[in-house]
Structure 1
Amino acid sequence: MSRLRRLRLPGDPDWDAASDAVSDAYFPHTLSPRVAGSTAADVDVGVTVLGPLRIARIGWGAEVAIHSEHPGAYGINVPLGGVLETCVAGHTVVSTSGLATVNPPDTPTDITRWSDTCTIVGVKIDRDFLVREVSRVTGQADAEIPDQLDLRAPEGASWFRLVRSIAAQPDDDPLLSNPLVAEQLAGSLTDAFLLAALPDDPSDRQMPRPRIVTRVLDALRADPARPWTAVDMAETAGVSVRRLQEGFREYVGKTPRECLTEIRLAAVHDELRTGGASSVTDVAMKWGFTHSGRFAAAFRHRYGVAPSQVLRD
């Protein structure tokens, strides 16, 4: 998380300056230090913005209380340590490492205890964007989002790994400033969150899974460079995202995303081997790879050599 864009505070910030910085990075709020004489000297705040979603890192360095109504967006607070005690819609949610508190939009919320050792990763998702993704992921018009998410469960852990991976991109990564890439990453993060937060829906168990798998694999092979999301693949199959993933696990032993990566790697390998490519980066981006480091590692794992070596040979 160290590559989140850190916001600069004055050399000797007071609580008002620190609160303003956090409001700009995450949500407007009212701040109340809980210990007399505490200072804002150790406040740490940074943010990565992806269109309708942003990822913030916030540490106050002192025990505080916060009031916010989270206007227009969901706020998912993940403590990296310490204790986060929140009164959400009249009842208390206590989150420590491995748990996340989900704050609904436009709802009075009080963090009654944000301990001095608690730094959070906060994920802010625009309400309308999340509602749209709920419909695409579940096929339902709405869904009840729980007030706490278990990040120790497989789907919760997978979502948080994705959050940290995206937030760890270099500050000057041009891809994050590309609106289309930002929207795609925001969609992937939101879909992964919904898969972790919402219960399974048995309504789409009827379609034979081999047909689901075949239909999606055919679509991926026909257009591997398309910026596929999990929702796009599920819509191609006519089932929910969760059902699609279960079908691939059962009949392929891999996720749809892993299959897409293999198809793209093969396309890159073939193009590099023909000798017509001028740049590994250009070819990788052409076939849908937006992260050069992960692409190079995946290519070497798959073919045992660096992509640049295939281009030279």
Structure 2
Amino acid sequence: MTVGDDRVPDAAVAVGGTWSSVRSLDDFATLRTNGPDSSPHWWPEIGPLGNPGSFSFAHRMRRVGPITVLDADFHDDVWVNGGETRPHYHVTLPVAPASTAVIDEVSVAVQPGSVAVYRPEGQAGVDRYVGRLLAVMIDRHAVEDALADALGRSITSQIDFAPLMRTATPEVRSWITIVSEFSEQLFRPHSVLNRPMVGMPFAEGLVRGLLLAADHSYRASLEGAAAEPPPGVIRAAIEVIEAEADRPLTVSALAQRSYVSVRSLQHGFQRHVGVTPMAYLRQVRLRRAHRDLLEADPSTVTVASVAYRWGFTNLGRFAAAHAARYQEPPLKTLQRNAHSSGNPSPIPSDISQLRDDGRGSDGPSLFVHEVRPEHR
């Protein structure tokens, strides 16, 4: 692979962005102490296995919320010593030939297509590595808080993740896809991930995806049935979404404000509304984006600017969702305003379309979600 271009091996996670070079051990010592994002917590000890004069690698690093992503390409064989403790959970996706990782003093053969997981406590390192890797470092508190939110109880010790995630499982493959999309956007200089409304929910999804993909002793509890919250909790969460759809809402923030676990909130939404909290939020944002398109001046506003304002990062998916909901592409909605006058008709609030069916808490559904067409 040529450093500086975006061509990567087949096993790699696709990313884009600008690279920096480390050409000597002195360069690396400076990087660890003086460079941007160069806290020793984020840079373990790294040294050459051969001639010290040949030590060099290229790298790029970005951070969103509690997640730091490092993309590195080592030009010659190196060893890595992560020490006994780290302030994060560290997941490495290797794209080089087989290497040997040391996790809690146990050597683990890491093959291309497998993913190593390092916990915050315990010896971590790699005896030999050459080539490219992608490292995802998630602040310890973020992972453990996400697990506590999901379970509805405190986590008092580090999560006992298994040392390897095998990409043969669909859950791990799905999580790697999330990492790929996250990294691809993260390293772009003008990425919408830099906007909290987009970046924070995406980062939270990556953290929760890790909890569902990796093996650990809490996995069965996460997959078990969740307690169902009372209907008032769901109504209150919907009111928050309706009032604050333009803010970086996450499912954990909604659960905390509703005084229930994440899993309970998700279960309640699925039963009473028919969608997840985040899917409902996307519906509300789509409605607000449609309203903005109807009211905008097409000579000064673009579909992309409206989509990004409401947290839609993929314009193709936004256009498809808009067409499915309003029976026309968003560009046509925007352009219609150039040939008409007057204000658009009022758009109904989704919260008003959720009604109590009168069956009480034992009924099969307390709310009916009736999406009325808003196409004009």
Q: Give the TM bin, normalised by the shorter chain.
A: 0.7 to 0.9
CA pair 111-212 structure 1, distance change in 2 beyond 3 A: farther
1:14 aligned partner: 24
Give the distance between the partners of 2:223 and 2:179, measured in 1 at CA. Answer: 29
Q: 1:183-202, aligned counterparts within 5 Å?
A: 183-197=200-214, 198-201=218-221
- Bigger fraction of residues in helix: 1
Contact 2:114-2:167 at 8 Å conserved across structures: yes
1:162 aligned partner: 178
Contact 1:159-1:192 at 8 Å conserved across structures: yes
1:128 aligned partner: 141
1:307 aligned partner: 330
Q: 1:1-313, aligned counterparts within 5 Å?
A: 1-9=14-22, 13-18=23-28, 21=31, 24=38, 27-36=42-51, 39-40=54-55, 43-69=57-83, 70-114=85-129, 116-117=130-131, 119-142=132-155, 144-146=159-161, 147-169=163-185, 171-173=188-190, 175-178=192-195, 182-197=199-214, 198-201=218-221, 205=225, 207=227, 218-219=238-239, 222-223=242-243, 224-235=245-256, 236=258, 238-241=260-263, 244=266, 248=270, 252=274, 256-275=277-296, 279=301, 280-286=303-309, 288-289=310-311, 291=313, 294=314, 296-304=315-323, 306-313=329-336
With normalisation by structure 1, the TM-score equals 0.76
**1:87 to partner: Cα distance:** 1.4
Give the distance between the partners of 1:263 and 1:231, measured in 2 at CA. Answer: 18
Larger radius of gyration: 2
AA paired with 1:108? Q
Q: Secondary structure at the match of 1:228?
A: coil
CA pair 221-180 structure 1, distance change in 2 beyond 3 A: closer
Q: Secondary structure at the match of 1:232?
A: helix
Give the distance between the partners of 2:160 and 2:141, measured in 1 at CA. Answer: 14
Gapped regions of structure 1 (runs ≥ 5):
none
Give the distance between the partners of 1:158 and 1:230, measured in 2 at CA. Answer: 20
With normalisation by structure 2, the TM-score equals 0.65
Q: Secondary structure at the match of 1:49?
A: strand
- Indicate the percent of aligned positions where both proteins have the same amino acid: 18
Contact 1:78-1:122 at 8 Å conserved across structures: yes
AA paired with 2:249? W
Deviations 1:268-290 (A, max 9, x none): 2233235578523553345x315
Give the distance between the partners of 2:177 and 2:89, measured in 1 at CA. Answer: 19
AA paired with 2:209? A
AA paired with 1:57? D
Give the distance between the partners of 1:83 and 1:110, measured in 2 at CA. Answer: 14
Deviations 1:80-117 (A, max 9, x none): 34223211112223333332212122533221122x34
Contact 1:187-1:229 at 8 Å conserved across structures: yes
Gapped regions of structure 2 (runs ≥ 5):
1-13, 337-376
How many residue pairs match? The answer is 302
Give the distance between the partners of 1:202 and 1:75, measured in 2 at CA. Answer: 21
Give the distance between the partners of 1:4 and 1:22, measured in 2 at CA. Answer: 21
CA pair 20-190 structure 1, distance change in 2 beyond 3 A: farther
AA paired with 2:289? V
CA pair 247-179 structure 1, distance change in 2 beyond 3 A: closer
User: Structure 1 stretch 180-189 or stretch 302-311: which is displaced more?
Assistant: 180-189
AA paired with 1:289? G
